[in-house]
Chains A and B, each alone.
Chain A
Amino acid sequence: MNPSTKNEEAVEIIAGAARLLHQAALPRGHEFIDIYLASGAALASQHALWLLPQNVDVEAVPTPVATDPIELIRAAETLLGQLPDGAYALVPGLAGLVADVCALVRDCRAA
């Protein structure tokens, strides 16, 4: 796989993760854990958007059908697990996003 194809694949995965995290960030409940997970997902979604080139149309990514924030956050982590080889070198800042999403998945266990 050449670097350009890898880059496109990485972009597609990050955009998908951003969409999932954005959906997870929508306010759903008033319990502390709801607010806590939603704000964490909002930050991670924002982080993912920063990593994307400006001309990527994130809103073209379909809105996720799921609504459970825990399911959405776990899906984002699974999606980021499919990043192409060398993705950290191709997209500076990606390692930080992955670390944050892993931390969020861990937080989900407390929910």
Chain B
Amino acid sequence: MSNTDRLLRDADHLIRRAAIDRDARSTVAAVATWPELVEAVQTLVSSQPTDPEPTVKSTMAMVGAIASSMHRDQLTHGWPTSGATNEAFLGAAERINEAATDTSRPRDDSGVTARQALGVLYHGAHLIRTGMEEYISHQFAHQQGRDLHRAVPMMDRVHRSEQLLDVAVNPWPWAGSSTTDRGPTQHLADTLAQWDIAAHRALVAPSATAIQIVATGEALTTRATGVLLNAADPLETRRATTGDPTRFREAITAAADRWQDLAVTAHKSGSATAGDRGALDAFTSMRQSLGQIVRDGPNPAAVEHLAQTIDLNVASQLSHQLLIAGADLAKAAEATVGNPGLHGSTAALMRQQREIQEESEEVSLINPDQRLRDKTMPIPPKMRGPLRHASADVVAATERVATLALVAHQPGPSPAEPRKTPSRRPEQLLGPSRPIRPPCPDR
């Protein structure tokens, strides 16, 4: 292992530990130390014997400019206070600076060193963004808003840096290539996963606000549709799609059938403003995209269209419905717990609920069971069972979220002790070792 490798690995481990151990204080200190970490990576990238790749170069230029503006603001406004320093970030910056002056480094490493350093920076940005979200949420909930006008713009800028670094370090697998046989399943699941991940992170916050309840309900509903998309068991999806084109097509065709369920679910969950027409349009559009994929093989444009259709048509309908439900939930939570932190969010939700209802000609919400009884939409008998289950899942998920929100707002004991578990090495957990076939050299 070269000295540079060792230093970058140390820096990465420091940031990972910091991500696991972070709290409000260390997060705010990380904001103060962030420009120093960015500067260290900029020095390392510019000290490379060969020119950095264009993506790396442009990413670092933008992230560097953002970090400089943060540093200027810190000096001007005094937030975070000048004494705040995150030791892990400082240690990582020192190691990266040391790596930049390492003369034993190979002359041409094909940009590996630069990308590794960008990975470290991405983890740092991710830590700050998630930590700041919690910090800000906590401040809102406890009406301690004196730092908010400084903290929110700082978080926004780190968030932007995180997005830029994300694109550079975690590119889509098909970026720059024409096709991939993993595209459709991956992108569909990713669209769903991003909602889930956002909601999960929101829930980590010690005091979920009403708007987070809505976001989580939305994400859980999306997850229910994910189950319909056969994305529930990744190993099963992989088995169905690996290597064999026939099986891949069968899997996609099976997924197409599930779209029918999805359309019904969208219809069920869609607001009255969108109505039948919107659900059917969404279904038709999705079916066309999927048909194209089945006919012509995975194609990034078709897949993109499909993912956008989910986002724009289905998700927006779910959002309206859940916004209305969320307003009711927040109102109930506020009344039950009497938490003043909920008041502003509840009022905002109620306003939006009223606006939606005023815009809508048909105010009544769609009851899926009523739909089934009235048969206002032709639903094949085989779809009725899944629809009932999906409906039950959504209701159960919403209930869980509401329960969590209520629990989160009740004054409780001090944070629970971590569950004690005997530590074992991962190799021991995996049992007797068997070789994994290595990848083909041409992949």
- Mark A residues whose CB is within 8 Å of B: 1, 4, 7-8, 11-12, 15-16, 19-20, 22, 32, 35-36, 39-40, 42-43, 45-47, 49-50, 53-66, 68, 70-72, 74-79, 81, 85-90, 92-96, 98-100, 102-103, 105-111
Contact = CB atoms under 8 A, between A and B. Distances in A.
Contact of B170 (A40, A60, A95): A95
B169 A92 contact: yes
B403 A32 contact: yes
A58 to B, nearest CB: 7
B259 interface: no
**6 nearest A-B residue pairs (beta carbon):** A88-B119, A89-B115, A85-B5, A53-B439, A75-B426, A46-B234
A64 B182 contact: no
A64 B8 CA distance: 31
B426 A79 contact: yes
A105 B127 CA distance: 13
Contacts of A111: 418-419
B116 interface: yes
B196 interface: yes
Contacts of B193: 43, 46-47
Contacts of B425: 75, 78
Contacts of A87: 116
B83 interface: no
B436 A60 contact: yes
A12 B9 contact: no
A87 B16 CA distance: 15
Residue of A40, A50, A77, A87 with highest tally of chain B CB at under 10 A? A50
A36 B203 contact: yes
A64 B133 CA distance: 35
B242 interface: yes
Nearest to A89: B115
Given A62-B434, A85-B116, A106 B22 contact: yes
A95 B441 CA distance: 23
Given A65-B431, A88-B115, A102-B19, A54 B182 contact: yes
A22 B429 contact: no
Counting chain A CB atoms within 10 Å of each CB, the highest count among B112, B203, B441 belongs to B112
Given A35-B400, A64-B431, A70-B419, A103 B19 contact: yes
**Chain A contact surface mostly:** helix
Contact of B8 (A32, A85, A99, A102): A85
B432 A99 contact: no
A11 B287 CA distance: 35
A81 B189 CA distance: 26
B173 A50 contact: yes
Contact of B234 (A35, A49, A66, A110): A49
Contacts of B418: 108-109, 111
B243 interface: yes
A15 B340 CA distance: 47
B421 A68 contact: yes
Contacts, number: 194
A76 B294 CA distance: 36
A96 B166 contact: yes
B235 A58 contact: yes
A53 B182 CA distance: 10
Contacts of B382: none
A62 B432 contact: yes
Interface in B164-182: 166, 169-171, 173, 181-182
B125 to A, nearest CB: 9
Contacts of A46: 189, 193, 231, 234
A107 B204 contact: yes
B441 A4 contact: yes
A92 B173 contact: yes
A77 B433 CA distance: 19
Interface string B180-197: 011000100110010011
B386 interface: no
A22 B173 contact: no
Given A22-B235, A53-B439, A102-B19, A66 B424 contact: yes
B217 to A, nearest CB: 14
Given A50-B173, A105-B20, 20 more contacts: A8-B438, A32-B400, A36-B203, A39-B223, A43-B197, A49-B235, A50-B186, A60-B436, A60-B437, A62-B432, A64-B431, A66-B429, A77-B20, A85-B9, A89-B115, A92-B169, A99-B19, A99-B123, A109-B418, A110-B416
A22 B119 contact: no
A61 B186 CA distance: 22
A42 B235 CA distance: 10
A19 B430 CA distance: 8
Given A55-B443, A86-B113, A98-B16, A72 B429 contact: yes
Given A8-B439, A22-B235, A61-B430, A102 B9 contact: no
B411 interface: no
Contacts of B435: 60
A56 B203 contact: no
A20 B113 CA distance: 29
A20 B426 contact: yes
